[in-house]
Amino acid sequence: MNKRMFWTKVVMTVIIVGAALFYLYPTYKLNRMAETEIEELKTKEPEKYNSLKDRVINLGLDLQGGLHLVLEVDDTNLSEDEKKDAPERAMEVIRNRVDQFGVAEPSITMGEDKRIIVQLPGVKNKDRAIRLLQGTAQLTFQLLMPPDKSETMVDFFNEVDKILAAEGYKSKDTESALSEKSEGQDVFDENKEELELDSTPAESDSASMENESLADSSQQSPEDTPDEIDEEKENEEGEKPLTSRLLAIGGGEIGGGEIGVLADDYDWAREVIDREEIKKFAPAGNSIYWGKEKSFDSGMYTGKSYRSLYFVQDKIELKGDGVTDALVQFNDSDPTTGGAPYVMLKLSRQAQNIFANVTGEHVGERLAIILDNIVQSAPNIQERINSSSARITGNFSLDEASDLVIVLRAGALPAPLEIMEERSVGPSLGHDSIQAGVMAMTLGGLLVIIFMMVWYRASGVVAVVALTLNIILLFAALAMMNATLTLPGIAGIILTIGMAVDANVLIFERIREEIRNRKTIRAAIDAGYARAFLTILDANVTTLITAVVLFQFGTGPVKGFAVTLMYGIIISMFTAIVISRLFFDFATMRWDIKKLSI
């Protein structure tokens, strides 16, 4: 063989193997690190972590655990035209949310009956993931019912009490009832959430843009206390099943301040108010919404959670499509919040104009910011405001603020999603799958090695070296493509091991045949590789076509099997035809071999 050609192949092989080891290093390093070390790397050196993460072999749902969901779009309230592409639009929104959530190699596909199949490998907080996927992200800005209509609110509660009393419901214990006056109560600090506008005015705005221009009506002075309903109401005869569970948050009467119920009473109160025969008593042009769950910071209910209740006008002043972007920011300027996260909304020019008109026409009223039918905050409008951005502040955790940003950026779902199937795969089950897969691969590899070394002796050792490099190159290819390894993928690797050895068997048997025909060792090797090449190529190409079809039309686990099989076929041809040949060429160039150990 031409020496120049030989050394060219050697250099090429060294470069390929070196590149393979380079791509395998991040996978090796991350798998050697403890969970605490990985979290520390994420926090202190996020760029380095992301660089490593982009070059590792990801594990699928069946190997590292995670969440499997089957979702269906509830198109009950959609028109016939909207129903046609609702599942496709919902799947696109889900994909955008999952991408921003940061799940590595998620699987989002359309199943039978237009159901959306979502697989999220590595997700540990399944409740957070489900909330993120199910939230419709319907953001609206709507005015609350004006204070001068508070009598209609009182009438509504009275009607509800009459209906419930007739059904046999009783008033709640007077300790937490709004119908009994408590003595010596501490202050309830309910100043938890408010909508603020960015202090940077638009160029055309001449109005004041201070953050204090909107403030939550529930913000109270230290002297404020949560009074119960007035004496005249509390002395009325009859049971008060609903009003006895209401709390005047921050003081005042019904209609004069924030109203809510303890979290323990929320489910019952919501079911009551959602009843159709009760909804019809709501003030005309208004609907009842609940606020997000919050906790009392002081007073007799310190540490207890509650939900506020709002009468909201049906007219939508501004929709979420007017929000062009959302960001997580930290309120470092306010020492009382301890740098708490909040969500900054960027408004389009049209939305900014609408917002300015609404705030200018309704000074003194309250504006509710509603997300997925939950009131996030309901600040007072103190003056006309023209700003290109607004902020939603509150007792958000960083995860809550981040998730809110994700759903706002990804857009709204066309309709709510119902979970038809939910399955969690624990990390221990995934670990067991990995152990079983590694055991199968190791056992299969050892049996193949023993057979090759016994049957083909020294030539069998060459096949084993080629097989080892085959496995290294295969895993390196998966790492380079940032692919996901699944249990069927491991099966594809095991099949690849068998196919790689099969190519060597064809070559070695052809060399044996040439030696029996009394050819020289050099000539037998050349003829063996030349004549076996077409057979090996035909067998691998037909298998490769099958793998491509599986990848194109298969889903989930089938694709994982197809990926490893495709890579394995190509790499096995390289190792069997090129790398193993180098050993024979080197031996025949270095020594005058009279008898080949084959």
Each residue's pLDDT tens digit, 426-469: 766 667 777 787 788 788 878 888 888 888 888 888 888 988 89
pTM exceeds cut of 0.75 = no
More confident residue, 268 or 320: 268
Tell me what pLDDT residue 174 has.
Answer: 39
More confident residue, 97 or 43: 97
Percent above pLDDT 90 for the chain: 11
Half-sphere exposure of 81 (CA within 13 A, CB side): 0
Half-sphere exposure of 275 (CA within 13 A, CB side): 12
Backbone angles phi, psi at 197, to 5 degrees: -105, 150
Tell me what pLDDT residue 173 has.
Answer: 61
Tell me what pLDDT residue 63 has.
Answer: 77
Q: Which residue has the tokens 């696109």?
A: 92
In the predicted structure, residue 182 carries a pLDDT above the cut 50: no
Which two tokens mark 399? 């995860």
Tell me what pLDDT residue 316 has.
Answer: 92
Average pLDDT (38-64) is: 77
Task: For residue range 400-418, list pLDDT tens digits in order.
Answer: 788 778 877 777 788 888 8
Topology classification of domain 139-412? Gyrase A; domain 2 (3.30.1360)
Average pLDDT (555-577) is: 85
Kindly indicate the confidence band of residue 593, based on its pLDDT and cuts at 50, 70 and 90. confident
In the predicted structure, residue 65 carries a pLDDT above the cut 50: yes
Average pLDDT (171-183) is: 46
Tell me what pLDDT residue 258 has.
Answer: 75
In the predicted structure, residue 514 carries a pLDDT above the cut 90: no
CA distance 440 to 62: 16
- The rounded mean pLDDT for the chain is 78
Percent above pLDDT 70 for the chain: 84
Task: For residue range 95-153, list pLDDT tens digits in order.
Answer: 888 877 767 667 888 887 888 988 888 787 888 888 888 877 788 899 998 877 878 88
Q: Which residues of 502-541 are buried (b: 16+ CB within 10 A; e: fewer)?
A: bbbbbbbebbbebbeeebebbebbbbbbeebbeebeebbe
Q: Which residues of 420-454 are buried (b: 16+ CB within 10 A; e: fewer)?
A: eeeeebeeeebeebbeebeeebeeebeebbeebee
Tell me what pLDDT residue 430 has.
Answer: 63
Topology classification of domain 426-590? Multidrug efflux transporter AcrB transmembrane fold (1.20.1640)
Tell me what pLDDT residue 217 has.
Answer: 39
Task: For residue range 280-315, list pLDDT tens digits in order.
Answer: 888 889 999 998 888 887 778 888 889 999 999 999
Domain edges within the chain: 66-123, 139-412, 426-590
In the predicted structure, residue 39 carries a pLDDT above the cut 80: no
Tell me what pLDDT residue 223 has.
Answer: 40
In the predicted structure, residue 37 carries a pLDDT above the cut 90: no
Backbone angles phi, psi at 586, to 5 degrees: -65, -45
